């Protein structure tokens, strides 16, 4: 028979990382103790699985248990439509053979120790309850559980960034640096290779400047990126950005969908807001083929992303839905 000794959160030091926060149901018994470890929302550090060896050894010390006498279960609860997953974890401990379970071990001669990576064996809540001889107590509801995690210094968040669209002079757009999808990409590659052999830049912008000087009207007609009416598309993109002001890209996309442009051109206009031309550091981080099309369109200005605006943090915690 096993006796429940701990039912709550624990914080585990994880070296140079933030402390991990996990839920532990610890049972003391004979011949082995049982630790049921559960991942929780708001854990600010390594996942339960990735930190399992450190967690197990830390708990063995806290509860004064020899590792060879500790049976460990790894539990990922239900969340986001995913079912709960229960696994039994086996280790090889210093100076002992693997316990419990199967697996290979190797000897580190220099340390005179037996070591191995942990192994996971499919299990279930029912198996654990049979082992400890009792019904496992439930964890709190999501709201209460997350409040407890926050009280321990947990809770996860993510930075929110908004693309800043600016109407820029098309003549100031950078040259392409690696137009791999262009009909005339082999010409660019030949120019770039020649420059490298002569000790020139390997970044592509120098080659791009020379490349665009070789493009003829006949060349433009052969490349699919130049099929659209980019002058009208550019004008519409500027109109939308200037009429709406600083907004989320989804608002610009909604404005693009209402445009009176023909369907194909309207689709290209929308692309400028859901997959924008992005210019930074003197080159493109996205959209160089459309940037090239804009350069040859005769348009004066076009809306492109030139910066990112920090909007703050938002919580990024999954919803605990139970472990059954």
Residue 259 has pLDDT above 70, yes or no: yes
Q: Comparing 241 with 80, which gets the higher pLDDT?
A: 241
Average pLDDT over residues 39-58: 94
pLDDT band at 92; cut points 50, 70, 90: low
Do 241 and 303 meet the contact criterion of CB atoms below 8 Å apart?
Answer: yes
pLDDT at 81: 87
C-alpha to C-alpha distance for 124 and 161, rounded to whole angstroms: 41
Task: Report whether pLDDT(103) > 50.
Answer: no
Q: How far, rounded to the nearest angstrom, does the alpha carbon of residue 174 sit from its chain's CA centroid? A: 30
> In this predicted model, what pLDDT tens digit does every residue of 213-241 receive, in sequence order?
999 999 999 998 999 999 999 999 999 99
pLDDT band at 52 (very low <50, low <70, confident <90, very high): very high
For the chain, give every domain's residue range: 3-155, 162-312
Q: For residue range 170-223, what is the model confidence (pLDDT) as tens digits?
A: 999 999 998 988 999 999 999 988 877 666 554 578 899 999 999 999 999 999
Instruction: Assess whether pLDDT exceeds 50 at residue 96.
Output: no
Residue 151 has pLDDT above 70, yes or no: yes
Q: Which long-range contacts (CB under 8 A, 24 or more apart) does 52-56 make?
A: 52/89, 52/118, 53/91, 53/118, 54/12, 54/14, 54/20, 55/12, 55/20, 55/22, 56/89, 56/91, 56/118
Q: For residues 324 and 322, what is the distance between their CA atoms, to the nearest angstrom?
A: 6
pLDDT tens-digit profile of 116-138? Answer: 568 889 999 999 999 999 999 99
The pTM (predicted TM-score) of the whole model is 0.59
pLDDT of residue 80: 87
CA 9 to chain CA centroid, Å, is: 26
Q: What is the pLDDT of residue 126?
A: 95
Instruction: Write down the H helix ranges in the chain.
Output: 52-62, 125-132, 142-151, 185-197, 205-213, 217-222, 230-244, 249-257, 263-274, 288-295
């Amino acid at each position: 028979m096993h006796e429940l000794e701990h039912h709550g959160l624990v914080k585990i030091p994880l070296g140079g990382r933030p402390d991990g926060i996990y839920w532990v149901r610890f049972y003391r018994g004979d011949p082995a103790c049982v630790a049921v470890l559960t991942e929780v929302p708001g854990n600010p550090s390594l996942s339960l699985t990735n930190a399992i060896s450190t967690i197990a050894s830390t708990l063995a010390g806290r509860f004064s248990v020899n590792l060879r006498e500790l049976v460990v279960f790894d539990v990922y609860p239900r969340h986001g439509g995913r079912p709960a997953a229960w696994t039994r974890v086996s280790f090889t401990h210093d100076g002992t053979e693997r316990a419990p379970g199967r697996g290979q071990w190797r000897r580190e001669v220099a340390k005179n120790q037996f070591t191995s990576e942990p192994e996971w064996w499919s299990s279930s809540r029912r198996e654990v309850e049979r082992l400890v001889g009792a019904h496992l107590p439930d964890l709190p509801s999501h709201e209460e559980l997350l409040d407890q995690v926050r009280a321990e210094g947990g809770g996860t968040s993510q930075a929110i960034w908004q693309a800043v669209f600016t109407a820029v002079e098309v003549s100031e757009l950078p040259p392409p640096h690696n137009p791999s999808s262009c009909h005339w990409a082999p010409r660019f590659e030949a120019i770039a290779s020649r420059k490298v052999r002569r000790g020139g830049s390997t970044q592509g912008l120098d080659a791009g400047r020379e490349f665009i000087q070789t493009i003829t009207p006949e060349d433009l007609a052969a490349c699919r990126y130049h099929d659209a009416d980019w002058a009208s598309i550019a004008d519409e993109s500027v109109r939308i950005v200037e009429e709406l002001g600083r907004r989320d890209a989804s608002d610009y996309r909604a404005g693009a969908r209402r445009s009176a442009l023909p369907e194909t051109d309207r689709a290209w206009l929308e692309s400028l807001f859901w997959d924008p031309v992005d210019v930074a550091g003197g080159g493109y981080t996205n959209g160089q083929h459309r940037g090239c099309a804009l350069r040859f369109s005769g348009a004066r200005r076009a809306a492109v992303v030139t910066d990112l605006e920090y909007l703050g943090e938002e919580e990024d915690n999954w919803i605990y839905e139970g472990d059954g």
